[in-house]
Amino acid sequence: MSESKHSHRVCPWWLGYFLATPLRRFLQNPRTILKPWVSEGAMVIEPGPGMGFFTLELARLVGPRGRVVALDIQPKMLSALKRRARRKGLLGRIDVRLVKPESMGLTDIKGRADLVFAFAIVHELPRVEEFFREVYEALKAGGKLFISEPHPRVSEEDFAGTVRLAEAAGFKENARPAIPRSRSVLMARGD
Ligand SMILES: C[S@@+](CC[C@H](N)C(=O)[O-])C[C@H]1O[C@@H](n2cnc3c(N)ncnc32)[C@H](O)[C@@H]1O
């Protein structure tokens, strides 16, 4: 898949409320999905967190010594995420950043992140190759990249194209986690 094949259609902010509903846990349980890959004290980058369906669980799993860097382009997503995190007493573990669509602006994290958790965002990005380059640089050696895309919205062919772009940036495939209504892959920095 070339970058031009992406629709870049960004999920509208009000859909964030549906994505963050507790009912979604019956289909995609954040703890079950995240637990195998997130350790205490870790630094996790979460591009496109929306209103924080996964962010709160990430913050619980990294614990008080860890950090979650949540990057979104929509202020309304981020203000709802902050509200929810504050209510749960987890905001202190989350670095909430408003970013531009073309760049995650991760230069300050260079080589320090343990995991990039990209759930239902890659198909919305205008520059996928640049995204993989940026997150590769932000990860430490052997750091992990988790990509999950909505099924059937993202076809098998397009998902294979996404995996190829990640490989071209230097990532190697590790596993194919089974998550309902999604196509998912766990990759690692190839060094
Ligand atoms: C479909 S939602 C998924 C939200 C969340 N990951 C989840 O699974 O509940 C996609 C999110 O990515 C954000 N997004 C889209 N393009 C982005 C970009 N270039 N940089 C950062 N975030 C972006 C949207 O604003 C939205 O919050």
Please report the atom of ligand 1 found closest to the CA of residue 74: 25
pLDDT the model gives residue 157: 97
Q: Which fold has domain 34-189?
A: Rossmann fold (3.40.50)
Q: State which of 7, 8, 11, 78 you would mutate to test the pocket of ligand 1, scoring each by most atoms of that ligand within 8 A of its C-beta.
A: 11
The domain ranges of the chain are 34-189
Q: What is the pLDDT of residues 20-56, one digit of tens each?
A: 999 999 999 999 999 999 999 999 999 999 999 999 9
Q: With a 6 A CB cut-off, is 161 part of the ligand 1 pocket?
A: no
Q: What percent of the chain has pLDDT over 70?
A: 96
Angle at 110 between CA 105 and CA 114, to 5 degrees: 105
Q: With a 6 A CB cut-off, is 77 part of the ligand 1 pocket?
A: yes
Spans of the chain below 70 pLDDT? 1-8
Q: With a 6 A CB cut-off, is 184 part of the ligand 1 pocket?
A: no
Amino acid code (one letter) for 3: E
